[in-house]
Chains A and B, each alone.
Chain A
Amino acid sequence: EAQVTQNPRYLITVTGKKLTVTCSQNMNHEYMSWYRQDPGLGLRQIYYSMNVEVTDKGDVPEGYKVSRKEKRNFPLILESPSPNQTSLYFCASMGLSGGSLETQYFGPGTRLLVL
């Protein structure tokens, strides 16, 4: 089954304690992206990656890091989480075959609470 998986699904942590949210896709997609969803704001892009070792900032990258060492994985790293990073996070992936825009597939989300 084609899917994007995220772990953990729920996480409660404290300010300053480094954490990683993993994202993996089994569709051999080149493009991957992270979004955060906040009430009344919709979804905003944090980082994206066009392929292995190619990453770039989205609209709200402050306080986050990413890496893309393998095509299937795109972890989101919070080096020193703060309460304003409490949010619902979504990973997405998309194939880029032929240069055409295809559907972005979203993971189930990771709900993060930073105390």
Chain B
Amino acid sequence: AQSVTQLGSHVSVSEGALVLLRCNYSSSVPPYLFWYVQYPNQGLQLLLKYTTGATLVKGINGFEAEFKKSETSFHLTKPSAHMSDAAEYFCAVSDSGGSNYKLTFGKGTLLTVNP
């Protein structure tokens, strides 16, 4: 069974500081990996995804993530936080070879950006 661990349920940074949200996964097959963002009272929006190819993936709003197979990690980063980045972030994994395209989510990390 797949699983996703997000280290830190709450991360707080200052505006302009580096954002680093950690995600580790377990999967018995090559994974597809995703980061979603959820703003208050809204649905989930895809930030970026890794399926195959380049392991450094760039997404929207200046976010990027690097797939490291040896570390089973897919950490999300942004060089400089903006106030508008305050939201909850979810890492998810999907089985690339399965018949159910189920996303297995981590428990989420709430990002707070301080002025």
Interface residues of A (CB under 8 A from B): 4, 31, 33, 35, 40-45, 48, 50, 56, 58-59, 90, 92, 94, 96, 100-101, 103-104, 106-109
Contact = CB atoms under 8 A, between A and B. Distances in A.
Chain A's interface: helix, strand, loop or mixed, by majority? strand
Contacts of B58: none
Contacts of B94: 101
A41 B107 contact: yes
Interface of B: 4, 9, 32, 36, 42-46, 49, 51, 90, 92, 94, 96, 99-103, 105-108
Given A101-B32, A101-B96, A42 B44 contact: no
A43 B51 contact: no
A48 B102 contact: yes
A88 to B, nearest CB: 10
A48 B90 contact: no
B101 A103 contact: no
